[in-house]
Amino acid sequence: MSSRRQDTGALDRLSFRFTTGTLAGLALFLLAAPTLIVVIVSFTSGLSLRFPPPGFSFRWYESLADSWQLQFAARNSLMVGILATALAVLLGVPAALAIGTGTGNRLTRALDQFFLSPLILPGLAFGLASLIFFTAAGLNVSITTLVIGHTVVCVPYVIRNTVAALAQLDPALIDSSLSLGASRLTTFRRVTLPSIGSGIMSGAFICFMASFDNIPVSLFLRDAATDMLPVRMWQDLEGRLDVTVAAASTALILFTVVMAGLMERFLGLSRRLQ
């Protein structure tokens, strides 16, 4: 009887692993297949986005190198992403310190929910609300409004990662530093900052990628002089199905994979996201 139960249990475990493995593989395929199709199509020798491609060619990457519109939009996206990330770190780290050191406080919980609210609000609603706000304030859309809008959206990523890093910091280290005569500034610079540095960098990386790839906020807060790469690619696909966009997408995929690999190698990004 016991051997029969053991055989039944082993069969159940095998069935469970097979089912979950199959579902996970199917989900991974569904997630990765569109990306692989884009990469393959970017090397087509044809004149349209068609899969499978009729031939192999680098012509669309050469076209990408000559596309001043995409390059202009990419420079704008890069500049806005860097500025928004810098501001998000400057605002997010002090907020994370206040939240992380005041766990259980009602004001701290309210502050935490306030900073997380941009992630709860739909992106299009936030972009439209930002446009209405800046218009009412008499500000025309520009790089400045884009940076402000992207910063608001990206601050939560810095806060979440920094708070997670603070949770792993032993408070006794801070107390020991203060008891030995170090000032709070020195304690932060010598003890706290080195301990949470990887969390800050992880949050900054996610913040930059979220800003660089943002469409809803950029769609409302940009004009012809501040064109953004995701919006430009979307408009090109909507208007004329330019294969150059597939080449640009492949370049962005490669850039993202390389950056994520570097972050995982030096900072352990996956551990910070758990």
Model pLDDT for residues 192-230, shown as the tens digit of each residue: 777 788 888 888 888 888 888 888 888 888 877 788 888
DSSP class per residue in 93-146: HHHHHHHHHSTT-HHHHHHHHHHHHHHHS-HHHHHHHHHHHHHHTTPPSSHHHH
Model pLDDT for residues 21-75, shown as the tens digit of each residue: 888 888 888 888 888 888 888 888 777 777 777 778 787 887 777 778 888 888 8
Token pair of 138 as six digits: 């008499």
Structural domains of the chain, with CATH:
66-272 (1.10.3720.10)
For the chain, strand residue ranges (E) read none
pTM: 0.79
Spatial distance between the Cα atoms of 191 and 187, rounded to a whole number of angstroms: 5
CA 178 to chain centre: 36
Residue in this structure with the two tokens 């420079």, named with its chain if needed: 75
Q: How many residues does the chain have?
A: 274
What's the start-to-end Cα distance of the chain, in Å? 42
Q: Comparing C-alpha atoms, which of 213, 223, 214, 207 is closest to residue 159?
A: 207
